[in-house]
Structure 1
Amino acid sequence: MVGSGVLALRASGLVVSALRAALAPRPGAHSVDEPERIGSRFRRAPDVTPEDVRRLAGALALRLADAEARFAALEPSVGEQVVAEVAVLLRGPVTMDDVQRALGDPGRLRLMLSARNAPTGRPSLGNDAEELFDALADVCCRQLVEHFTTAPWYTVRTVTEISRAVGELHDRIPDPEAADQEFAERYMTGLRDQLDRAEVLGVVEIQQASSYRLSTAYVNLDVGTVTQTQPRDPHALTLTQRLVRRPTWENLASNWAFAAGLPSWHSVLSPSGRAVLEGPAGAGKTSLLRRLAVGLIDARSQQQPPVVVPFFLQVRRLYRDERLCLPAVDDFVRESGSTLGSAQPPGWADRVLRSGHAVVLVDGLDELPQPCHDEALAWLQQVCRDYPHATYILSSRPRVLTDAHRRSLDEAGFASIALRPMNRAQVAEFVTRWHDTHTAYGADSREQIIRSGEDLNRLLDTRRDLARLATSPLLCALICALHRATDQALPEGRVGLYQAAMTMMLGSREQASKVPAAHHLRLSPPQQEALLSALAWWMTMNGRRDIPRTVAEARVQEVLPLVRFPDRDDQSPPTAAEVLRHLEQRSGLLHEPQIDLLEFSHASFQDYLAAGAALGGDHLDHILVHTWDPRYHDVLIMAVGRAQSRPRDQRHLLDGLITRAREGDGDQSGDARRLWLLAAAAIADLDLVSPDHRQAVHEATRALIPPNTHFDAASLAEAGEFVLDLLGDHIRHHELTDSQAFFTIITATDLQSDAAIPLFSALRHHTSHDIRHLLAQAWTSVADSDRYWRDVLCHVRIDDLAIVLPDFALIRRPQIRDRIRTLFLPDEVREIPVSDLAAASHLTTLLLDAGNTDLSGLVELPRVTSLLFRGAAPVDMDALAKLKNLRELRLTAPAQADISALASLTSLTTLKLHGTAVSDLRPLTGLTNLASLDIAATRVTDVGPLAALTSLVQLDLAATEVADVDALAGLIRLTHLSLHATGVADVSALSGLKELTSLRLGGTAITDVSPLAGLTRLSHLDLGVTQVSDLSPLTRVPRLRDLNLHRAPTSDVHSLALLTRLTRLDLSHTLVTDLRPLAELASLEGLFLAGLPVQDVRPLAALTNLTQLDLEGTEVSDVGSLAALTNLTLLNLAHTPVAQLGQLGALPELEVDITGTPLSMS
């Protein structure tokens, strides 16, 4: 049971605050089993303050008391004294420097802090209290170590700190022997020239383009941690221990060509310095390891001997004569491709590995036969145990390693790292660098080649089919080479693009490969395509992106009888297994992601080949039956494209697709719209298609592309991502109106895909506020927020928009921060980042969510003059009272009742208290600068205090219990006043408010509007749901443009004939029966007559400016006279007896609601 001392601690506000601010635990140094959160949940401060230490000690004291009864039994004062003493002993600020100097050891950290902070002559606390003191100090230090080792900057900071330590220790290290230095220099010079060249097999259409220098063309590739382990091998040292004798790691960042990716690369090395790098074929694993080795070699000019030495071991070189030949360390030089193996000083490699100055790069475990994997991994782990100071990186394709292999590597301290697909920025950089490396080749000038790269990058921004293919270095290099080979005229459309890519891959990879092939296994491109198509069709038929090896061999066996091989008496025909292995090795299209499972290197290649198989195997009806399945959409599109030379097959496909679309027309499920759009995508970029099909598709989709309503936008998004191609093509050939652009952006946003970024970019030139607002909101719909800013928002005016950051860390970027005036802080940002916001020089408005409860820091933001709160949580009014610079404030919490603290905010000009529990307005009497006040839906009954607010221009009292408005008589500056749904019955006090332009009295009990007769500026008047029947006083309000009489008991509208400026009139559900007086209102644009007992609408024929007319629920049956209203766009005839539209049907822009009518089109 917990003692009273501990109960006192538990009750303290300090501990409660610390518990609320705690972070969820993350893997760190594992100094404790249950990490305690220190500081803010969402903003990790660089240092731990004395207050943080005191909170931490309090929270951990509770844990210790719960764990041991003798601590719980201590007196309250003793428990509090122990916490205080520990807080003094460890008081901060505790910094990353302290943890680094302690080498991450909690015991060392305690000794350091004790020496720095402990007062002399500390009084004894008694036996149990002293034991609590010791235990609490120890666990606090362990928690501090855990806190700093989970910091995002820990790894880079650790490497930096180690580099400094290395620099200090380096002078103590004796120079290696001269022979070792000389050989290291010779070895690395030769190795660099060998590794600094990458080749892309299959692009021999441009011989010079098939290889390039990595040091120029390499771009940073992102890696993501799959698993991150602590070194469990007792021989594996910590990162600090391994690097302590390395003087050069700090310098690598400035020398590697991919220095911008240093944080990603360090995630590969930490925490154990051993990693398994995984990625699919062509993802850039070998290039990354080569570039690392080249970077290490290039860094030697900044190093003092001994330098960091890379060994680059390609596993496929170790498999010779059908057996695995694993090298001893003395053979590492030779196996790295150097010819200097016999020239190395005896034991040189051993010394380098033992010293910790070696990086062993083992490339391509997946290229070994599966039975060799155990032996290879056992060898690697033994090398790690023999030389624990070295760094080891192993590369492999995904899922090649078994669970047993992963467990073994995990125990040896290997982290599993995955190469991510290239993002758009990386692709753009690759294209630029690739072209830069080829400026020395061919007859083209440097300027022409550089311009070619720029043109290709523009194509990648506008053609989704092209961008979708560019996901890896291999495919990017292929596109670059194809772009040059076609003289910068890449085929239009995905079918032409993939056809050209397939020709290049299948037609030249055989001769580009250096691996000799048996003569009887040379396959022509058509033969390879036929074999691969059989695999692709099986995968598509079975809804898969992979195929078991045994099934693949069976499919190959079915095609083999059709394949002609050279006649060789001394050789038997190849088996299906041999042919399949040949396709893997030579085509570049097929790879093995895991044992005995094959897949295509890109899904689009599977779809292209499956489309060819469907055409050749008479499987077109199978595709048509599955048009509902998104997995068949690309197959169908490519099948229609590939059938341009087979018009009968193309007609069969399009007939079937269009027939299914027509059968679904009228179905509310949206299936028909989806099929029409799919047909449009199929023929969008074809050179050959029948005119009747093109016309049918065009007519059916004309109203869908571009979208014109929210329904259209939603329908397009539901159809699938392929609509981005249709929208992009339309934008390239047509200028969208603002309305069309608005709904196009909604469609793209709903798709939640980075593939929509080029579409957003194409619409960024629209300047309307609504469109710019949507573009700002769409930032959160994409994953690549950096690219969205670069390609879209940095070109858009955002100073008048409320910006929601997809990642709040972006506020730290000056190019973003300095353009934001209004910023939304979502609920997740619990602590307002004052320092970041203070640096935002143009920030004036904050929109705060309910979770932003701590407002104390806002006083440090004097430039912020507008605070808009949303949500139900009451606001800290005391904190608000200190914000003397506020000019605008909005509170929405229903429980907010006391506003007395606002009396000090005399600079306020706008105050919105809508929906709060405020009832007393007296605190506002001193806010004489107020121009706008919204107290709608509050509990206010007395508006007397408002008499002093003579600067008011806008006042909203709607939905309050206010009945007496006499106090408002002196507010002569008012232009907008709302008394909607109040208890007001007499508006005599308003007769002197000559500046009023808008007055809402709907839902009140007024019967007499004569006091309004002198309001000559009034243009908008709401009298809906009142008891007003006499409208004659309104004849003296000549500027009325908008009048609402909905459900008022008026029957005579003759007096309205004089209000010739009216543009909008609502008479719905009144007692009006005669519409003839309305014929004089020639300026009317909107007329609402729903529910009137009228039959004759001929008087309305004179209202030629009408665009909206509502006749719902009337007795009108003949609307022929309305054909004269040529500007009419919306007509509501719902639930009328209208049976014919007559000439109305000829109005091209008219939309008619005929719900519940017997209407038949004439």
Structure 2
Amino acid sequence: MTRRPPGRGVVAVHSQRSGQQGSGVLLTDDTVLTCAHVLEAGFSAWASVPGRRDRVLCRVVWSDQQLDAALLQAPESLIPGTVTTLNTTTVRLGTIATERPLPDCEIVGFPRVQRYDEGRRLESDQYTGTVLPLAGLIRRTMVLELDRASVTERDDGASPLAGLSGAPVFAGSGLLGIVKEVPRGRGHQRVECVPLSAIVAGSGFTGAFVAATGGLPPALTAHTRHTSEDSPYEEEYAEALGAAYRRTKVFGLDELGRRASEWDLDTAYLSLEAATAKESGRAPVPQRVDDLLATRPRVLLRGDAGAGKTTLVWWLAAHAAAGTLGPNLAELNGLVPFVVPLRSLRARGAGFPSPAELPAAAGLVVDAAPAGWAGRVLAAGRGLLLVDGLDEVPPEDREAAHAWLSGLLARHPRTRCVATVRPLAVEPDWLGAEHFEELTLLPMRDQDVEAFVSAWHDAARLDGEDPEALRSLERDLLQQFRHNPSLSELARTPLLCAVICALHRLREGFLPETRWALYDSALQMLLGARDDRRRIDAPDGIRMSVEEHRQLLQRLAAWLVRGGQTEFTREQALHQLGRVLPGMPRVQAQGTTADVLTHLLNRSGLLQERTDDVFQFAHRTFQDFLAAKEFVEDDLLSELLRHAHEQQWHDVLLLAAGHCSRRELPALVEGLLAAGSVTRKRDVKTTLYVLAALCAQHAAWLSETLHGRVRKAVTSVVPPLNREQVTQLARLGEYVLPLLPEPGGNPRSAGKVVELISSIGGARALPPAEAYARAGLAEAIALHWEQFPTEEFADRVLSHLPPEGSLFLSRRDQLAVLGRLPQRRIAVAGGFSPAELVEGLGGRTLRDLTLAADPSLTGLDVLRHLDVRGLRYLSVQFCANLTDLRALTGLGALEELFLCSVPAGRPALEAVSGAPALRQLRLRDPQLDDGRLDLSPLHAVPGLNVIVSGVPRKNVLGRTAFGDRLLLEP
């Protein structure tokens, strides 16, 4: 963690009544856990913290005399040199999950025997021992046997360990409980403690903790085994993760110097949006991906090349290890991340890692882990498995990858996991049996692009360039994005946005217009032109032209593509370059093969060292681009086409089109058409025909006959039959619109055509959207309003929506035109203020209302200012700051209520019970103070059916009264 309390968070606690002294431990920077008897039934107590001269008066916010535990809250941070922020725990809370003795435990506190200067000065002391789980089982007491007797008994009979009451008991970095007494007759070698599990389960503790800290309910980590080496190693491992993943290179800034090119992830990380699978009849609500991860223990994250998948993995690893994730992801703080970069493992020739091999999988600069450490972490449920690049595994090995991952998680079911993959590399629900939820990274919105551009130019300014010139370039680029839709569409991933920023700066405002031209210009910028501009002659003793750089790199890239890998060792690179250099005598004469490799690593800007002696291209897309050039130049289109059915070759095939001559491009297009015609798999056929059409778009000239064959082939797979085919055809954009069937055909295929039209969007898609809206599919198209020009869509499509149809809106310009539409079923997602909602939704009698992903809502008072007399359905989802649901009381017509990721404590459900006509309540992932859902306030609602998901059955109280009217989902 970035902010460690001194002395492991131990605090001296003094009764305000008699001055009696005990000990305590910081749970957050301003809350202290101690024993109740130390306080002598007082309502406040003094706390003294090492490093602070002053004592701080704390109030008692919870106390349980029977347990002998109390929680204090200070008016300020007790950690020296800090101020209180939104609190997260400064220690990891634990519980014992074994009946075997647990050695190497530690007590830290302020015993009487450590007082100096006639008792005026306190000094902490440390004791080691073994927790005996069965010794206090019946009394719900945790017993610890010290490794050796501490001191002899005092003359007055008092224990020399007096003052330890409330002292923390640690197993490694986990807090297991607090000391409450030293029993007589044991030679002061046995200590009895209050276990954390009993405290957290105690009446009122969790609610008091949440109220005091404003954070999440405390979560307990299970301890089964532990060694004295674990904690020190865990700290070293977390530091190694930070060193490896807290900084990242951003394309186009490396020429400015190390300071600007390496961004701290807090600067570089942009929380992109992602979407889940659609709910029946409703559009998915786009959310920031880190918000979606908060309530999903296992996620398969799909995303295109350059979409930010690896950056997310690095960000999670660095911040989880440091304990610095924000409140939404606070449950991940303190978990131990195991990063498994599958591309690196393949480069090293390694197999899928066993638990013992997980710490070494990422190649961190850290010593070997203590024997069994990773297994102990996983068994305790403290592991965060981050599997990056499942698409890097060859298709023939993907079942082995599936078996490895599912087997590991079956053995350690409490392990959280995020795995990344390209969109179509594995079939839908590939990890469904392992309870993974699938998320898809969405293209950056305009505001995300603007944020990235600003951050890029801020980093450029760090290196001392003319700030005013950079500000002018930034303004010009943002202006170009606003007025050039084609350019703005190219900038929807972080990688391509960075490429555009770099080229815009280099060319002083002039930019290429196609993806292929962007990459070609970027390579021209990096491969030598940079040194020419800086007047650097023969860096590293070697001088190469741009084309010589390309020849070497493209041979290396083609070798990687053939081997299905993206990383390589120094030895492999030397071998490959050694095969090429005899044909390049001018370069060979300037140095050894090792010298040439060093030059490429230092000067190309395209190769980077990932770990010791393991290298990769700066991004896989550049590898594929250069490999495509090699295949075309070496007259190996036939080899490319032999791999046309393999997904990992598709980008290479597409990029090859930009390298083809007028003679070669028809052969590539015809080869893809032929490959598509021989497969019976409709999904594969669609993909290959789409690739053929995309390649044809690169042609300055292509025969009319071949253009016709391409159109005929694409038409043969229209309409799409499933979501995968929709995604593929949407890549063609406006090209596919004239090929769509007229409305009135098969209803199932018509629905997929609507999805395709909506995925393409834009002004050109308005005519077919209008045609299908006239044919009765207006409601399906209306879900995608944001994909089209706002006012034109309202006039031409939404005008065909029946009055009882649903409207989904997420932008202010949509809210502004809502007044001209009569619909009474409205779904609103986004950061609208209550005043904006009242202005936009006022003047209509609402029947069906959804409020989603709106952080500005703290309560539902907006309902009091709308016409909700006929409101029958209400959905409130992902409103992170919502706390007050009292406005639900009195909604006389409300029959169905859906609450997702919002508070569902007793006050909220009491408000729900005030809706007299309510017949169905659905609660998904409710926010609960103590993890328990008490349904008793709903018992008075006659005939109410309740559906609950995301809460363990044992934590649902008052369920018996509902009988079969209660459904508990996983």
TM-score between both structures, scaled by the size of structure 1: 0.38
Based on CA coordinates, which of the two structures has the bigger radius of gyration?
1
Structure 1 or 2: larger strand share? 2
TM-score between both structures, scaled by the size of structure 2: 0.45
